[in-house]
Structure 1
Amino acid sequence: MEVIKTASGIGGLLTSFRELAKDSKKVMFIGTTGFCTPFAELMAYVIRDAPIEVGFIPDIRHHEAKAIISTPNGMQIGDDIDHHADTVVLLGGLAMPKMKIDVENIKENLEDILEGAENRLVIGICFQSMFETQCWIGPIDFDYIIDSDLSASTIKL
């Protein structure tokens, strides 16, 4: 593993993703329902003007793939979409132990989603090294991982 770029904040996270996905034809995010969905919509926002089709697969149920569409209210989940893509973004919520998602099932789904794609790209986006701590690096053949840390301060005035 080699760090090829560092950035900070949400802007850095989004810019890093946009740079990796810029040559994709279709990006399919895979994440947990609820927790990962808004992150997929946020990531999709930075490629909204590119000629890239975008979708979201809840958990590993690729038969439930939905489009992520641009609306006057931002990026939102839309209608059904074909689950095949040339770029897959695995979101870190999948690797959280409480989700009980088997990494082997993810591998099988990746092969199905990427079937027929000429240029395959697998990106992981997580917080606090989730893919590394849950031993998904190796079993999943990531091309890139964007690993971010998040800090928060609650201030009483």
Structure 2
Amino acid sequence: MAEHEPLRGIPGILRPYKEYIKSLNLGEGDQVVYYGCVGTCTPFVELLAVTIRGLHLRQAFVPLLEEEKAHAIHDVPDIGMQASGEPVAVAPRVIVIMGGLAMPLMPVTKEQVRDLAARHTGAKIVGVCFQNMFERAGWTGTVPFDLMINAMVEPVTVTRPAP
């Protein structure tokens, strides 16, 4: 895949993510930890998690940057990957930063994310955002992303049937 290869749709987000995770040759049980906003980021985290479920990695979701509130992500039959109420210790080999953290009014700074990455020495840092959120928030020069996936959600068409 080229450095700035344009892709489309949900597969354009998921395929390069899975290819990148596979390229790291992680061992069974290594941990991928997603950091994001509760509610808005979790559906995207679950999509990313289902993409790599066959790699036998442990996955976890951390609300904001509050690692003490980390939840395991499990494959739930007939539903998909879901964050559980089960607490889990965080020891990531891959840190996935969701773009919702960079949105205005979020209580997370780019410096806090940079410091989080530094605390987890050797972990790869993946950013997944929409609408250039990391760039617009000024995070790209501070957070040391090893891979960044930026998806555009335009245009949006809404159709309503006539009454």
TM-score (norm 1): 0.90
What's the offset of the Cα at 1:49? Answer: 1.1
Give 1:144's aligned residue: 147
Equivalent residue runs for 1:2-151 within 5 Å: 3-22=3-22, 23=24, 24=26, 25-72=30-77, 73-78=79-84, 79-112=86-119, 114-115=120-121, 117=122, 120-151=123-154
Instruction: Report the AA paired with residue 5 of structure 1.
Output: E
Residue 156 of structure 1, CA deviation:
2.3
Structure 2 unpaired stretches of 5+ = none
**Root mean square deviation, CA, Å:** 1.5
Asked whether the equivalents of residues 62 and 109 of structure 1 are also in contact (C-alpha less than 8 Å), the reply is no
Moved over 3 A (4+): none
Query: Which AA in structure 2 matches 1:150?
Result: V
- The one-letter amino acid of 1:55's match is A
Name the SS for the 1:97 alignment partner.
coil
The amino acid that maps onto 1:137 is: T
TM superposition shift of 1:37: 1.1
Render the CA deviation track for 1:112-142: whole Å, top value 9, x for unaligned: 3x24x4xx31110000110011010121111
2:160 matches 1:153 = no
SS in 2 for 1:75: strand
Tell me the amino acid that sits aligned with residue 102 of structure 1: T
SS of 2:127 mapped into structure 1: strand
**Cα deviation code 1:28-78 (max 9, x no counterpart):** 100011111111111100111112111111001011111111001111112
SS at match of 1:33: coil
Contact 1:28 1:55 in 2 (8 A): yes
Cα distance in 2 between the residues matched to 1:83 and 1:107: 17
Structure number with larger C-alpha Rg = 2
Identity rate of aligned residues, in percent? 32
